[in-house]
């Protein structure tokens, strides 16, 4: 009975254990199931690098604009979300279109985003300008997304405008049919002719009449319309003769202030002159039969061509008594101002009298000073004379201005070009030539070019700009002949002289081009290596022999030194094989 009960108990316990083992096995299977990890995401803690660059461009001329493409390359793995590019140009450039910030599309990892902007160079800009670029974006996924910023500055090359000389403005007046009477009101046109190469802008003229005239306009300053090169502008003034006119030679002083552009920069300029106005003196106004006699220059001559600065020229002028009364005690004085002087003789001449309607011619040698500027320069002729009316002698003064064109000589020297050695086909060589401006005026728009065929040159055309008086320099061309033989080249130089006339000089050059040097193959003389033996093996016996010889020599030297010490310490001979010549005596 006990054994039967024990068997039943053991069977029940085995059944319970079996039932318990089933859920544990299932639990064990579920715990050991392999779960694949999610794909690795970009590390949001690392700020992606952004490379900012622009498209290629040539020098941007001052005052013009161009379109460039700005690229943003994402060097990281994370996508740049909602990138915004902001631009900050330097003082010499600006962005066209009114916007300075642009929204780009998302830029994936290793991807590139672009934006096109229009850049305009200022009229006064030159040299390397900069365009600041800032890219703001977010990277990473929500909720760990972070903000990032990348900055850089792009270079925008700008070619400045060349410098210009101040334009020369000639001041004149309209014709006056008859001398001005006392209390007469009349209109006078003042003309301004621009003889320069740049426009005259923002001009204003100030007038001041002589003591025998009065200005009736509300203001003595008049705005003058812009004057293009070679054009003329006019202002109208209203004048009135005085109640009593003491002198028949009245005048109106005109001072013109204006602005012109030089190298893109507004520059101040000025011009001044005095226009003559004939008038009737008060004494003659009471009688219609005795008007004030006037002396005018009816014609003059200076040789018919522009006067070279520093050169001599003959000046002759003919003056006429336009009145009905004889003039007496005439003194004519020629004043050359800063540009002209009398070349031998005096600038003053005296004439006893001149009848009505008659003429008189004066000739004198003149010289243009070397420092005189190119262009129209003035010579003032002053007349002092007297006339008698009803027994009363009246003095009269008249100033007449003559205009003479002056030209600075072209002393721009260009030396013949030379070649640096004998050129070889396929190898770069050089041609140089020197220049010096020995004149007293600047040379403008100097340009050099290398013309021909059968060669290549990285810069066959060079613009060197203006050359100041007394300056010098060198021009160099690097070129590579394409083949051996005769090579014909021409160095062409163009510039504008002091008279603003284009000049061209050409220097033909014939070179003998050598064949290209053959390449040396150093591998042909090298002995062939023997297979199986190292290259250093033959050197072992030589090294061992040298070591053995050194040991033998050292032992002999020590022996000689010991023998010398035994003989009393006298000097001993360092020669290893020769006889002992020391002071120790014979052996």
Query: What tens digit of pLDDT does each residue of 433-449 get?
Result: 899 988 777 888 999 99
- % of the chain exceeding 70 in pLDDT: 79
Question: Any residues with CB less than 8 A from the CB of 283 and at least 6 apart, and which?
Answer: 389, 390, 392, 394
Q: What is the mean pLDDT of residues 291-302?
A: 91
- pLDDT attached to residue 567: 44
Closest CA to 435 of 477, 463, 471: 471
Confidence of residue 46 (pLDDT cuts 50, 70, 90): confident
- pLDDT attached to residue 443: 82
Give the Cα separation of 315 and 365 in Å (integer): 6
Q: What is the mean pLDDT of residues 156-182?
A: 89
Confidence of residue 575 (pLDDT cuts 50, 70, 90): very low
Cα distances (Å, whole numbers) of residue 291 to 255, 314, 382:
31, 35, 21
- pLDDT attached to residue 207: 95
- pLDDT attached to residue 34: 40
Question: Any residues with CB less than 8 A from the CB of 54 and at least 6 apart, and which?
Answer: 68, 69, 70, 71, 131, 154
Confidence of residue 305 (pLDDT cuts 50, 70, 90): confident
Give the Cα separation of 534 and 382 in Å (integer): 109
Confidence of residue 39 (pLDDT cuts 50, 70, 90): very low
Name the pairing type of β-strands 169-173 and 312-321: unpaired
- pLDDT attached to residue 190: 95
- Residue of 581 and 301 predicted with greater confidence: 301
Query: What tens digit of pLDDT does each residue of 337-390 get?
Result: 889 999 888 899 999 999 999 999 999 999 988 888 888 889 999 999 999 887
- pLDDT attached to residue 6: 43
Confidence of residue 574 (pLDDT cuts 50, 70, 90): very low
E strands present in 390-460: 392-407, 412-414, 418-419, 429-437, 443-452, 455-456
Contact (Cβ atoms closer than 8 angstroms) between residue 7 and residue 14: no
What residue ranges define each of the domains in the chain, with the CATH number in brackets?
Answer: 50-159 (2.60.40.10), 162-292 (2.60.40.10), 293-407 (2.60.40.10), 412-513 (2.60.40.10), 550-587 (no CATH)
> What does residue 347 show for φ and ψ, rounded to 5 degrees?
-95, 10
Closest CA to 500 of 411, 374, 403: 374
Could you tell me how many residues make up the chain? 587
Query: What tens digit of pLDDT does each residue of 276-289 get?
Result: 999 988 654 444 55
pTM: 0.34
Give the Cα separation of 257 and 269 in Å (integer): 6
Residue 102 has pLDDT above 70, yes or no: yes
Q: In the predicted model, what is the mean pLDDT of the chain? A: 81
Give the Cα separation of 401 and 274 in Å (integer): 9
Q: What 3-state class would DSSP assign to 169?
A: strand
Peptide bond into 143 cis (omega under 30): yes
Give the Cα separation of 205 and 190 in Å (integer): 10
Rg (CA), the chain: 50
- Residue of 494 and 421 predicted with greater confidence: 494
Give the Cα separation of 60 and 404 in Å (integer): 42
Q: What is the mean pLDDT of residues 396-418?
A: 87
Q: What is the mean pLDDT of residues 102-106?
A: 92
Cα–chain-centroid distance for residue 382? Answer: 47
- pLDDT attached to residue 54: 94
- pLDDT attached to residue 530: 52
Contact (Cβ atoms closer than 8 angstroms) between residue 316 and residue 297: no
Cα distances (Å, whole numbers) of residue 310 to 172, 373, 515:
28, 11, 54
Q: What 3-state class would DSSP assign to 22?
A: helix
Q: What is the mean pLDDT of residues 240-269?
A: 89
Q: What is the mean pLDDT of residues 535-541?
A: 59
Q: What is the mean pLDDT of residues 397-409?
A: 89
- pLDDT attached to residue 43: 57
- pLDDT attached to residue 28: 39
- pLDDT attached to residue 552: 56
Give the Cα separation of 123 and 110 in Å (integer): 40
Q: What is the mean pLDDT of residues 572-576?
A: 43
Cα–chain-centroid distance for residue 17? Answer: 101
Q: What is the mean pLDDT of residues 249-257?
A: 94
Confidence of residue 573 (pLDDT cuts 50, 70, 90): very low
> What does residue 24 show for φ and ψ, rounded to 5 degrees?
-65, -40
Residue 392 has pLDDT above 80, yes or no: yes
Element (H, E) at 488: strand 485-496
């Amino acid at each position: 009975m006990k054994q039967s009960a024990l068997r039943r108990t053991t069977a029940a316990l085995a059944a319970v254990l079996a039932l318990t083992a089933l859920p544990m096995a299932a639990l064990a299977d579920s715990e050991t199931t392999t779960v694949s990890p999610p794909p690795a995401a970009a590390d949001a803690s690392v700020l992606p690098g952004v490379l900012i660059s622009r498209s290629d461009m040539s020098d941007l001329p001052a005052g013009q604009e161009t379109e460039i493409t700005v690229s943003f390359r994402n060097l990281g793995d994370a996508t740049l979300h909602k990138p915004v590019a902001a631009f900050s140009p330097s003082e010499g450039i600006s962005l066209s279109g009114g916007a300075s910030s642009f929204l780009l599309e998302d830029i994936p990892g290793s991807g590139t985003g672009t934006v096109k902007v229009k850049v305009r160079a200022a009229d006064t800009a030159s040299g390397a300008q900069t365009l600041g670029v800032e890219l703001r974006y977010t990277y990473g996924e929500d909720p760990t997304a972070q903000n990032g910023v990348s900055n850089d500055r792009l270079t925008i090359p700008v070619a400045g405008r060349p410098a210009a000389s101040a334009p020369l403005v000639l001041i004149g007046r309209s014709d006056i049919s008859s001398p001005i009477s006392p209390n007469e009101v009349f209109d006078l046109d003042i003309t301004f002719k621009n003889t320069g190469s740049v426009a005259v802008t923002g001009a204003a003229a100030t007038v001041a009449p002589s003591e025998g005239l009065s200005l009736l306009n509300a203001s003595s300053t008049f705005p003058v319309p812009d004057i293009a090169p070679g054009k003329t502008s006019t202002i109208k003034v209203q004048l009135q003769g005085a109640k009593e006119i003491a002198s028949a030679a009245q005048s109106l002083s005109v001072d013109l202030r204006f602005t012109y552009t030089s190298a893109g920069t507004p520059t101040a300029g000025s011009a001044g002159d005095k226009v003559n106005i004939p008038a009737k003196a008060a004494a003659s106004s009471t009688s219609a039969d005795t008007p004030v006699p006037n002396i005018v220059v009816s014609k003059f001559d200076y040789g018919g061509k522009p006067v070279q600065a520093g050169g001599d020229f003959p000046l002759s002028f003919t003056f006429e008594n336009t009145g009905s009364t004889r003039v007496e005690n005439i003194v004519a004085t020629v004043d050359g101002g800063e540009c002209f002087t009398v070349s031998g003789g005096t600038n003053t001449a005296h004439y006893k009298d001149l009848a009505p309607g008659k003429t008189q011619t004066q000739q004198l040698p003149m010289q243009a000073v070397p420092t005189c500027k190119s262009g129209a320069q003035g010579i003032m002729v002053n007349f002092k004379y007297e006339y008698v009316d009803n027994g009363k002698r009246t003095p009269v003064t008249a100033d007449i201005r003559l205009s003479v064109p002056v030209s600075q000589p072209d002393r721009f020297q260009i030396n013949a070009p030379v070649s640096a050695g004998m050129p070889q086909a396929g190898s770069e060589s050089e041609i140089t030539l020197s220049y010096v401006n020995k004149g007293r005026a600047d040379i403008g728009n100097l340009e050099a070019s290398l013309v021909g065929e059968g060669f290549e040159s990285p810069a066959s055309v060079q613009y060197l700009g203006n050359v100041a008086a007394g300056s010098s320099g060198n021009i160099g061309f690097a070129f590579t002949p394409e083949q051996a033989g005769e090579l014909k080249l021409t160095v062409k130089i163009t510039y504008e002289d002091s008279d603003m006339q284009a000049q061209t000089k050409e220097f033909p050059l014939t070179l003998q081009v050598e064949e290209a040097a053959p390449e040396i193959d150093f591998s042909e003389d090298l002995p062939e290596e023997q297979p199986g033996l190292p290259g250093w093996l033959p050197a072992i016996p030589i090294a061992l022999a040298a070591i053995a010889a050194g040991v033998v020599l050292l032992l002999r030297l020590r022996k000689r030194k010991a023998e010398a010490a035994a003989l009393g310490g006298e000097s001993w001979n360092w020669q290893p094989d020769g006889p002992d010549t020391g002071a120790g005596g014979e052996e």
